[in-house]
Amino acid sequence: MAASDQVRALRWDGAALQVLDQRLLPAEERWLIARDATETARVIHDMAVRGAPAIGLAGAYGLVMAARALADADADAWTAGLAAAVALLNAARPTAVNLAAALHHLERIARQGVPGDWRALEQAAQALWDEDLAANRRMGELGSDCLPPGTRVLTHCNTGSLATAGLGTALGVVRTAWTGQRLAAVYATESRPWLQGARLTSWELNRDGIPVNLIVDSAAAFFMARGAIDWVIVGADRITANGDVANKIGTYALAVAARHHGLRFMVVAPSTTVDLAMACGADIPIEFRGPEEILRVSGRSATEPLLAAPNPVFDVTPAGLIDVLVTEKGVLERPDAAGLAALMARAC
Ligand code: MRU
């Protein structure tokens, strides 16, 4: 593991999935254990593990555990049991396509193989892990190459090792660009209400010795107007065929503000986040979470009781606001349907 990339969100110990509980960071580093598909669905839904590629990997290991429990089943029970586990795991969070993609990939392998051969799924889950890490390393280089020395970047949410197999997507670009001495400043938004930026991104960057300016979400346009930021760099939960991008709530506002101020806007995501089967962003299922995430801060009531506090946790940035899309397959300027289809058809 590289010196600048020491954090891991998950560990597969051969029998169970160990999950670093991201709800407790940075105050406490506590590992939970998910022993079957049901417990895995719960840690994904409750956001002990979060971030599109990381929940895809967690889901894959949840399915491995379901397959192990079906090892002695006959062919019909094996197929039906796996389908039920896929449905259970896939329902844990709706927006990131990586979860569905990982589950369906493993289910396909199970269908092509010998009923009961759960080890084949374990190998496939490990391969997904290795591919995600390799994709992040490649994207780190490709994205970093887009940034001239002296660049000041702003990133949103957490897209680091905690959200992936390691290194990260947008944060992987930040890490690589920092190591390559291209960055003059790094800004991270708090990412209300769950505080992925304040609690997780700051923690990861601090551990790497990368100085970070933490700002409240609503200060982003202020710093843009002052000329303090050159590039906004974010991850993605789903990229549709026309290049629209679902990502953490607030991403769309950052893209609008970046375009207004003449800044560049980069999305960094592995090809597993691209959903060519979905035409456009309006079709993406957007997760709404409970109002308590907004109404309570640090476990305490932050406001008078309200009738409603609608809490969409993702939004959609139209392709037209994106200057650069970085995947492990290459860099696409001004993504659109034709460019994205051609990029996805490339071998790595
Ligand atoms: O609700 P979360 O924390 O799972 O949302 C995470 C994000 O929106 C990330 O930006 C995205 O998943 C990319 S992570 C590499």
Ligand 1 pocket check for 171: Cβ under 6 Å = no
Probe residue for ligand 1, chosen from 22, 194, 239, 248 as the CB with the greatest number of ligand atoms within 8 Å: 248
Taking the model in full, what pTM does it have? 0.97
Residue with tokens 């598909």: 37
**Mean model confidence pLDDT for the chain:** 96
Specify the pLDDT at position 3.
Answer: 55
Ligand 1 pocket, 54 CB below 6 A?
no
Q: Is residue 5's pLDDT more than 80? A: no
Q: Is the CB of 164 under 6 A from ligand 1?
A: yes
> Rounded distance, CA 128 to CA 53, Å?
10
Q: Which whole number is the average pLDDT over 122-139? A: 98
Mutation test of ligand 1: which of 46, 154, 237, 287 has the most ligand atoms closer than 8 Å to its C-beta?
Answer: 237
Backbone φ and ψ of 252, nearest 5°: -60, -45
How far is Cα 104 from Cα 89, in angstroms, rounded to an integer?
11
Tell me which of 237, 244, 275, 323 is the catalytic residue.
Answer: 237
Q: What is the predicted pLDDT for the residue at 304? A: 81
pLDDT of residue 348: 75
Write down the pLDDT at residue 269: 98
DSSP 8-state class, residue 288 = B
CATH superfamily for 10-134 is translation initiation factor eif-2b, domain 1 (1.20.120.420)
pLDDT above 70: residue 101: yes
- Residue 302 confidence (pLDDT): 87
pLDDT of residue 303: 87
Instruction: Write the DSSP string, 13-82.
Output: -SSSEEEE-TTSTTT---EEEE-SHHHHHHHHHTTSS-SHHHHHHHHHHHHHHHHHHTTTS-HHHHHHHH
Q: Which is the closest atom of ligand 1 to the Cα of 170?
A: 15
CA distance linking residue 220 with residue 156, whole number of Å = 10
Identity of the residue numbered 106: L
Most informative mutation of 200, 247, 274 for ligand 1 (most atoms within 8 A of CB): 247
Continuous segment of H or E residues that includes residue 239: strand 238-240
Give the Å distance between the CA of 118 and the centre of ligand 1. 29
pLDDT at residue 299 in the model: 82
* 163 pocket-lining for ligand 1 (C-beta < 6 Å): yes
Q: Is 169 in the pocket of ligand 1 (CB under 6 A)?
A: yes
Q: Where are the domains of the chain?
A: 10-134, 138-344
DSSP letter (8 states) at residue 93 = -
Assigned CATH topology for domain 138-344: Rossmann fold (3.40.50)
Phi/psi at 254 (5° precision):
-65, -40
Report how far ligand 1's centroid is from the alpha carbon of 239 (Å): 13
50 CA to middle of ligand 1, Å?
7
- Closest Cα to residue 107, out of 127, 91, 84? 84
Sort strands 300-301 and 296-297 into parallel, antiparallel or unpaired: antiparallel
Greater pLDDT, 243 or 296 = 243
Question: Residue 158's pLDDT band (boundaries 50, 70, 90)?
Answer: very high
**Residue 336 annotated to the active site:** no
State the distance between the two ends of the chain, measured CA to CA, in whole angstroms: 23
CB 331, CB 348: distance < 8 Å: no
pLDDT at residue 236, as a whole number: 98
Mean pLDDT for 78-96 is 98
pLDDT band at 4 (very low <50, low <70, confident <90, very high): low
DSSP class per residue in 125-170: HHHHHHHHHHHHHHHHHHHHHTSPTTEEEEE-S--SGGGSSSS-SH
Q: How confident is the model at residue 298 (pLDDT cuts 50, 70, 90)?
A: confident
State if residue 196 touches ligand 1 by the CB under 6 angstroms criterion: yes
- Structure confidence by residue, pLDDT tens digits, 215-251: 999 999 999 999 999 999 999 999 999 999 999 999 9
Q: Is the minimum distance from the CB of 51 to ligand 1 under 6 angstroms?
A: yes
Instruction: Return the pLDDT at 311.
Output: 97
At 2, the pLDDT band (50, 70, 90 cuts) reads low
Per-residue pLDDT, 169: 98
Separation of CA 164 and ligand 1 centre (Å): 9
The one-letter amino acid at 190 = E
144 Cβ inside 6 Å of ligand 1: no
Q: Could you tell me which of 169, 158, 326, 150 has the C-alpha nearest to residue 228? A: 150
Q: How far is the CA of 64 from the centre of ligand 1 (A)?
A: 23
Per residue in 250-294, pLDDT tens? Answer: 999 999 999 999 999 999 999 999 999 999 999 999 999 999 999
